[in-house]
A and B are shown apart, each in its own frame.
Chain A
Amino acid sequence: MEGPAFYEAMGGLVEKDGVEKVKNFKKFKELMPYLKVLARSRPEDKYLLVTGLRQMGEVVAVTGDGTNDAPALKKADVGFAMGKTGTDVCKDAADILITDDNFSSIVKAAMWGRNVYDNIQRFLQFQLTVNVGALIITFIGSVITKETPLKPIQLLWVNLIMDSLGALALATELPKPELLERNP
């Protein structure tokens, strides 16, 4: 499908309560499963496509290198710009720069991003468990027996385990390909 014809069929964008929406959203939804390539598209057409897809509840990533991609890059959830060949305008509009101009880097970026996020979650889960456990035991134990069941120096050792060693152990997990099978 060609860009201008696509724009024509969708009837352009309408603004409602400060949120831009596709005018013929029903038609857009019908067309989406069949749309593979949008040729000769102008900046407006790209922008419309991204807006419509986000309106459908999809997570949209856009790659681009020219000035005309900038609005779509800005509108997308994640905008990737080419670092070597891209213009300054599109680099400014993008969230992530692909410095080696290689599309497979996007996959790597997604994998590492999810991995870092997971590692932080792992560490948080561990640390919060230790904290909650130690807190309850120390508090209730002290109240009932009138002395501390866990001595301060023992709690220091527990802290050493969970802060430095726990962070090292849980946050050095490497990414694995299964991470890519998850939904965004």
Chain B
Amino acid sequence: MTKHILFQALWQCCVLFMFLFAGEFLIPESDPYLMFDRPTGYVYPGRLNEWNGEPLYEKYINKLGPSRHYTFIFTSFVLMQIFNMICCRKIHDEYNIFDNMHKNPMFIIIWFVVIGGQVLITTFGSLVF
């Protein structure tokens, strides 16, 4: 169990740190307006200040709310937990994590409810999330 927890957490941290620190080179952005003064084709960084202290997203946060960059990180975090939930169904190192899943409708319903909820709050809860 400890092995699963540690490596699953390590994996999540790796992915999220990659998006957090290198998001502006990795995550594509389609809306030209939201690229502001950085028309690179990638997402505008969500950090308030540049590493050297110059204002970065601080210029837009009052107008637009949280940046797309951080929403992306939040959503990837939640999605990783959702898939982790499927993996947690097996605790004795079985190979087939989907075994017996059809006999537990509650699990399937909750799984889709969480995904639906995540879509809803990121689409319509824009100022908060």
Q: Does A166 contact B (CB under 8 A)?
A: yes
B residues contacting the other copy or chain, number (CB 8 A): 43
Q: How far is the CB of A149 from chain B (nearest CB, A)?
A: 5
Q: In the complex, which of the residues B6, B85, B118 has the most CB atoms of chain A within 10 Å of its own CB atom?
A: B85
B88 touches A137 (CB 8 A): no
Q: Among the listed B6, B91, B100, B110, which residue makes an inter-chain contact with A176, where contact means beta carbons less than 8 Å apart?
A: B100
User: Could you list which residues of chain A lie within 8 angstroms of chain B, going by C-beta atoms?
Assistant: 118, 121-126, 128-130, 132-134, 136-137, 140-141, 144-147, 149-151, 153-154, 157-158, 161-162, 165-166, 168-170, 172-174, 176
Q: Does B77 contact A (CB under 8 A)?
A: yes
Q: Among the listed A136, A140, A144, A169, which residue makes an inter-chain contact with B107, where contact means beta carbons less than 8 Å apart?
A: A169
How many A-B contacts at CB < 8 Å in the complex? 117
Do most interface residues of chain B lie in helix, strand or loop, or is the interface mixed?
helix
Q: Among the listed A126, A128, A134, A151, which residue makes an inter-chain contact with B85, where contact means beta carbons less than 8 Å apart?
A: A126
Q: Which stretch in B11-19, B24-32, B35-43 binds the other chain? A: B11-19
Q: B121 contacts which chain A residues (CB < 8 A)?
A: 157
Q: Among the listed B8, B73, B80, which residue makes an inter-chain contact with A149, where contact means beta carbons less than 8 Å apart?
A: B73
A133 touches B129 (CB 8 A): no
Q: A149 contacts which chain B residues (CB < 8 A)?
A: 16, 20, 70, 73
- The verdict on A153 contacting B85 (CB below 8 Å), with A125-B1, A132-B6, A165-B114 known, is no
